[in-house]
Amino acid sequence: MFENRGPKCALLVYIDDATGKLLHLRFAASENTFDYLHATKAYLQQWGKPIAFYSDKHGIFRTTHASKKDRTSGLTQFGRALYELNIDIICANTPQAKGRVERANQTLQDRLVKELRLRGIDTIAAANAYAPEFMADFNRRFGKAPRNPKDMHRPFAEHENLDGAMCRKEVRTLSQALTLRYDKVLFILDPTDLAKRLAGKKVIVCDYPDGRLEITHEATSLPYRTFDTLRSVHRSEVVENKRLDDILSIVAEMQAGREQQRSKGGPRRTGQTDHMFGIRDGSQSNGYQKRGRKPGPRTDFTNDPVVIARRQQALARLKAAE
Q: Which CATH number fits the domain that encloses residue 59?
A: 3.30.420.10
- Residue 289's domain comprises 235-321
pLDDT tens, residue by residue, 194-219: 999 999 999 999 999 888 999 999 98
189 and 299 together in one domain:
no
pLDDT of residue 105: 81
Q: Is residue 315 very low, low, confident or very high in pLDDT (cuts 50, 70, 90)? A: confident
Last residue of a domain, one of 93, 108, 142: 142
Same domain, 24 and 65: yes
Residues 118 and 83 in one domain: yes
In a shared domain, residues 130 and 190: no
Is 209 within the bounds of a domain? yes
Domains contained in the chain, number: 3
| Same domain? 225 vs 287 | no
222 shares a domain with 250: no
Residue 293 has pLDDT above 50, yes or no: no
Dump pLDDT digits (tens) for 21-75.
Answer: 999 999 998 888 999 999 999 999 999 999 999 887 788 888 766 554 445 556 8
pLDDT tens profile 141-165: 988 898 888 888 999 999 999 999 9
36 and 135 belong to one structural domain: yes
pTM given for the model: 0.69
Digit-coded pLDDT (tens) for 211-243 = 899 999 998 999 999 887 666 555 445 545 555
H, E, C per residue of the chain: CCCCCCCCCEEEEEECCCCCCEEEEEEECCCCHHHHHHHHHHHHHHHCECCEEEECCCCCCCCCCCCCCCCCCCCCHHHHHHHHCCCEEEECCCCHHHHHHHHHHHHHHHHHHHHHHHCCCCCHHHHHHHHHHHHHHHHHHHCCCCCCCCCCCECCCCCCCHHHHCCEEEEEECCCCCEEEECCEEEEECCCHHHHHCCCCEEEEEECCCCCEEEEECCEECCEEEEEHHHCCCHHHHCCCHHHHHHHHHHHHHHHCCCCCCCCCCCCCCCCCCCCCCCCCCCCCCCCCCCCCCCCCCCCCCCCHHHHHHHHHHHHHHHHHC
At 104, the pLDDT band (50, 70, 90 cuts) reads confident
- Is residue 153 in a domain? no
